[in-house]
Amino acid sequence: MKKLWLVFGIAALAACQSGPSQEQKKDSIKSDLQQAGEDVKSAASKTGDYLEQQKRETIDTLNARIAQIDQATEELKKKGDKKSKEARQKLEEMKLQMQHEVEDVKQASAEKWDSTKKAAEEFGDKSGKLWSDFKRDFKDLFN
């Protein structure tokens, strides 16, 4: 009988000693999950910040081109001849396209950003060519 009580005592002692380590494991797991959640939030925040920065840069580039168009339009208004009116119409069309592209960039979601950015960059390249062609075609108006 004494041996039986000795075995129960040892088993009880072992059970008591394993209790705190189980609690420590639970606390450790809980802490790890909280840290993982914070890391996910931080990564999402950084991704959102990066996306907003990319959008701002793209919009700034397009707005700079729009400012060039506005400046050229003002110069052409002073001339008032038929060719300058034609040039102003072309500039207005380019400006409308750029404003549309700015709105697309502003409203682009994170999921569609890559395709929107690619389209904006392609449009930027195309508008650069259009701008060069425009200046070449109407160079006599900008002396």
pLDDT greater than 70 at residue 107: yes
Q: What is the mean pLDDT of residues 63-92?
A: 87
Instruction: Give CA separation, 112 vs 15, 20, 40, 58, 88, in Å.
Output: 56, 50, 21, 15, 34
pLDDT in tens, 15-69: 555 555 666 766 777 676 677 666 666 665 666 788 888 888 888 988 998 998 8
pLDDT greater than 60 at residue 9: no
Band of pLDDT at residue 137, cut at 50, 70 and 90 = confident
Higher pLDDT, 76 or 46: 76
pLDDT in tens, 35-45: 766 666 666 56
Which range has the top average pLDDT, 4-8, 50-54, 124-128? 50-54
Task: Give the closest residue to 117 by CA, choosing from 38, 67, 57, 48.
Answer: 57
pTM here? Answer: 0.61
Q: Are 131 and 68 in contact (CB under 8 A)?
A: yes
Q: What is the mean pLDDT of residues 113-141?
A: 80
- pLDDT for 92: 92
